[in-house]
């Protein structure tokens, strides 16, 4: 087991130091996400061995340390084909790209037309989070310090889930609680 995973299991060095892990194993994402979400996560070559190139998933885990309001950040690089589905289910938003820019229609009918630059959508519904990512991810989000603070403030939707729209897809960021994040990361990267 690598030192990153050992630190996650023991909790050592996570209180003050930043930890970053990139490129999860394909078996790891299959053990955490359902088959549909696995097909939406971008795949990248990691290295070559005797059998050829080994595929990895473009997933990044970040533990910012004790000075941050975020316990654990999990980022999923999503193919362009997955953007409409995830925007609709998570944020009740319709996203369409055109030559004029990115068109976002919100659930109440409000329309935004933005130039083709990075745009972020926040405010996911809890039930949508569960529907898309399942119990384990949903629970890890709900136990994060950021989500606890949101609940105290009476917020029904969470900024613990965001979608950064890019020209070739999106990055889904999930703010996870420390313990749930440790377990999920252990499974993704071992």
Query: What separation in angstroms does the CA of 165 have from each of 47, 104, 122?
Result: 28, 11, 11
- Residue ranges of the chain with pLDDT lower than 50? 1-16
What's the pLDDT score for residue 51?
59
d(Cα 72, Cα 68) in Å, to the nearest integer?
A: 10
What pTM, to 2 d.p., does this model score?
A: 0.84
Four-residue CA torsion sign, 170, 128, 67, 152: positive
What's the pLDDT score for residue 101?
81
Instruction: Return the DSSP state at 37.
Output: H
Residues in Cβ contact with 6 at an 8 Å cutoff, skipping those fewer than 6 apart: 12
Overall residue count recorded for the chain in this entry: 190
**Would you kindly state where each structural domain of the chain is located, as residue ranges?**
3-188
What's the pLDDT score for residue 99?
79
Encoded tokens for 183:
């377990």
d(Cα 179, Cα 121) in Å, to the nearest integer?
A: 26
d(Cα 64, Cα 76) in Å, to the nearest integer?
A: 17
Residue whose token pair is 């917020």: 155
CB 46 within 8 A of CB 23: yes
What's the pLDDT score for residue 2?
41
d(Cα 71, Cα 68) in Å, to the nearest integer?
A: 7
């Amino acid at each position: 087991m690598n030192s990153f995973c050992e630190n996650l299991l023991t909790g050592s060095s996570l209180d003050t130091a930043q930890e970053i892990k990139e490129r999860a194993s394909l078996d790891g994402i299959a053990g955490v996400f359902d088959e549909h979400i696995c097909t939406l996560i971008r795949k990248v070559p990691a290295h070559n061995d005797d059998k050829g190139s080994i595929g990895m998933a473009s997933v990044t885990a970040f533990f910012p340390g004790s000075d941050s309001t975020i316990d654990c950040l999990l980022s999923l690089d999503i193919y362009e084909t997955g953007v409409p589905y995830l925007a609709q289910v998570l944020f009740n938003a319709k996203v369409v790209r055109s030559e004029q820019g990115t068109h976002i229609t919100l659930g109440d009918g409000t329309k935004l037309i933005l130039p083709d630059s990075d745009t972020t959508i926040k405010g996911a519904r809890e039930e949508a989070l569960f529907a898309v990512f399942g119990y384990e991810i949903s629970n890890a989000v709900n136990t994060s310090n950021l989500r606890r603070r949101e609940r105290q403030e009476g917020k029904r939707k969470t900024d613990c889930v965001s979608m950064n729209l890019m020209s070739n897809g999106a990055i889904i960021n999930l703010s996870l609680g420390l313990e749930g994040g440790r377990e999920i990361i252990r499974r993704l990267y071992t």
